[in-house]
A and B are shown apart, each in its own frame.
Chain A
Amino acid sequence: MGMYDVIVVGAGPAGLGAAIEAKKCGASVLLLDENDRPGGQLFKQIHKFFGSKEHYAGTRGYIIGQNLLNEADELGVEFRLGVRVWGLYPGGGVTATDGETSVRYFARKIVLATGATENALSFPGCTLPGVMTAGAAQTMTNVQHVLPGERFVMVGSGNVGLIVTYQLLQAGAKVCCILEAAQKISGYGVHAAKVRRAGVPILTGHTILRANGTDGVESVVTAKVDERFRPIEGTEETIECDTVTLAVGLSPRIELAGVSGCKMAYSPALGGMLPLHSDDMETTCGNILIAGDLSGIEEASTALDEGRMAGCRAAYALGYRTSKEYEETKRALLNRLNALRAGPFGEKRRAAKEALWNTMR
């Protein structure tokens, strides 16, 4: 048991950002994560990030993660790793378990940075060994250094699908093709160009119908789809492969926010159901703030700055910052977030975020 000013659930970029910022303001901070190692998905990101200098452009994801960890450590953020938060209770109770014991902590403010889950797809054969999410393949390849197969078919051409395809190639795998149900590629052109140059065809207007095999995947059947995503008969093709990776989007991991009574909103551009929140990351529950993918699927850099915003807001609400200091930080962070939400991809997310903020007002 223990009492803290701020408890942060989830030690990915958003959670680390929140913990660092709240601690900098002088709040006592406890950071909880279910993994044995903090950093969230950053440690799987072996590629260099884009953007501006203050968003670590040109730096590889796992190095950004390491720098954030060092910063949190030097500031004296308390960590509890390998524990899962299973409940939030009135009075700021946060209950977490390592599987053997269950411990309750208390906080005046709780920042939820629980991230996202990968979306699934169902088709005959989808439970065969060899069918997995792109994130699982990425963890195995980049973190555990085990290539889960030899011949892959990637489903989905968003940035996750494109980046993981490239990383599988780098690890020595063959990626037969990327299937994309929409009529155009959904990730960044620069990533798509890279995998195409490496010889991987991206088949738009195509879906997976089924996976065949007895003890594991031996082949998949694909088909063209019409504009309403219905498979077109007679267009079926069989592709031999041993692994199918699904990169069909992410959904905010809302369970903890949901059981706490945070009001939910539906925002397709941000990944679906998520807790309604303001531009300073407050939810409809006064003691609960959110950040990162939980507040809408974006990128590590936006997650980090949203986390900083949440941490700063929590510290300000507890009296660790004057309103003048807080307003300055908030303005600076909003400017950075706006810069990240520019361009044809970012613009949609920015508009979706603003719609949520306006509903909160």
Chain B
Amino acid sequence: MEHDAVNAEIVCRCEEVTADEIMEAIRNGADSLDAVKKATRAGMGFCQGRTCKRLIARMLACYYEMPVDRFLPGSLRLPVTPVKLSLLAETEDAADEIQEGSACEK
């Protein structure tokens, strides 16, 4: 989307999503970080929401008048850092293991 570069308040800088766009998504029913992400792509970029997640959670908390932790931490997924697809494919049986379960030993 084209923005007014001077006046736009960009919240997600990776995907260049503005505060206005995020508020519009929230008013249209987005009620979680994931819902905002699906509606606007905020949090889907290179940093995977590390910069904007807290800001969006605060906007959600403010709008719904709920504590901010209700919206955090959002969904966390592998890989946690950008990785070339070829590397993902090369790493043996990685895909199987992702489906098998978590790294957590109870």
With A86-B83, A97-B83 known as contacts, the answer to whether A260 contacts B102 (CB < 8 A) is: yes
Once A97-B83, A120-B55, A124-B7 are accepted as A-B contacts, the answer to whether A286 and B105 lie under 8 Å apart by CB is yes
Q: Does chain A have a CB within 8 A of B103?
A: yes
A89-B97, A255-B76 known; A122 vs B103 contact (CB < 8 Å):
no
| Residues of chain B from 1 to 15 with CB closer than 8 A to chain A in the complex | 6-11, 13
Q: In chain A, residues 81-95, which have Cβ atoms closer than 8 Å to a Cβ of chain B? A: 84-90, 92-93, 95
A259 within 8 A of partner (CB): yes
Contact A122 B10 (CB under 8 A): yes
Q: Mark B1-44, 1 if CB is under 8 A from A, else 0.
A: 00000111111010000010000000000000000000000000
Known contacts: A120-B55, A258-B76, A272-B54. The answer to whether A90 contacts B91 by CB under 8 A is no
Q: Is the CB of A273 within 8 A of B105?
A: no
Of chain A, the residue at the smallest CB distance from B12 is A122
Chain A 79-112 against B: per-residue CB contact (8 Å), 1 yes, 0 no? 0000011111110110101010110100000100
Complex interface: chain A residues within 8 A of B73 (CB): 254, 258, 264, 273
Contact, CB under 8 Å: B104 / A260: yes
Q: Are B91 and A251 in contact (CB under 8 A)?
A: no
- B103/A101 in contact, CB under 8 A: no
Interface of B is mostly: loop
Q: Which residue of B is nearest A286, CB measured?
A: B105
Closest Cβ–Cβ distance, residue B70 to chain A (whole Å): 9
Q: Which residues of A contact B78 (CB under 8 A)?
A: 86-87, 259
A221 close to chain B: CB less than 8 A: no
Question: Which of B51, B94, B104 is A284 in contact with, Cβ under 8 Å?
Answer: B104
Closest to A109 in B: B105
List residues of chain B with CB within 8 A of the CB of A104.
91-92
Report whether B9 and A95 are in contact in the complex, using a CB–CB cutoff of 8 Å. no
**Which residues of B in the span 81-106 have a Cβ within 8 Å of any Cβ on A?**
81, 83-84, 87-88, 90-92, 94, 97-98, 100-106
**Do A266 and B77 touch (CB < 8 A)?**
no
Query: Do B104 and A125 touch (CB < 8 A)?
Result: no
Instruction: Provide the residues of chain A in CB contact with B50, threshold 8 Å.
Output: 117, 253, 255
Q: How far is the CA of A101 from the CA of B89 in the complex (A)?
A: 11
Q: With A102-B83, A126-B10 in contact, do A90 and B76 touch (Cβ < 8 Å)?
A: no
User: Which B50-87 residues have C-beta < 8 A from chain A?
Assistant: 50-52, 54-55, 69, 72-73, 76-81, 83-84, 87
Tell me whether A217 is interfacial, beta carbon within 8 Å: no
A281 at interface (Cβ–Cβ under 8 A)?
no
Complex alpha-carbon distance, A286 and B102, angstroms: 12
Q: How far does the alpha carbon of A336 sit from the alpha carbon of B78 in the complex, in Å?
A: 36
CA of A285 to CA of B77 in the docked complex: distance in angstroms?
17
A285, B54: Cβ atoms closer than 8 Å: no
How close is B34's CB to chain A, nearest CB, in angstroms?
A: 14
Closest CB in chain B relative to A277 CB, distance in Å: 13
A119 at the interface (CB under 8 A from B): yes
Q: Tell me the smallest distance from the CB of A89 to a CB of chain B, in Å.
A: 5
Q: A28 near B: Cβ within 8 Å?
A: no
In the complex the two chains form, is B101's CB within 8 Å of A124's CB? no
- Contact: B76 with A285, CB < 8 Å? no
Q: Which one of B7, B10, B103 contacts A285 once the chains associate, using CB atoms below 8 Å? A: B103
* Shortest Cβ gap from B61 to chain A (Å): 12
A89 to B105, CA, bound (A): 10
A175-212 toward B: CB 8 Å interface, digit per residue (1/0)?
Answer: 00000000000000000000000000000000000001
Complex contact A261–B102 (CB within 8 A) = yes
Complex CA–CA separation, A286 to B103 (angstroms): 10
By beta carbon, the residue of chain B nearest A213 is B6
Residues of B within 8 A of A288 (CB): 103-105
Contact B97 A90, beta carbon cutoff 8 Å: yes
Asked if B87 and A97 make an inter-chain contact with CB atoms under 8 angstroms apart, the answer reads: yes
Sample 8 A-B pairs with CB under 8 A, ordered by A number: A102-B83, A117-B50, A123-B9, A124-B8, A255-B80, A256-B80, A266-B69, A287-B104
Residues of B within 8 A of A (CB): 6-11, 13, 19, 48, 50-52, 54-55, 69, 72-73, 76-81, 83-84, 87-88, 90-92, 94, 97-98, 100-106
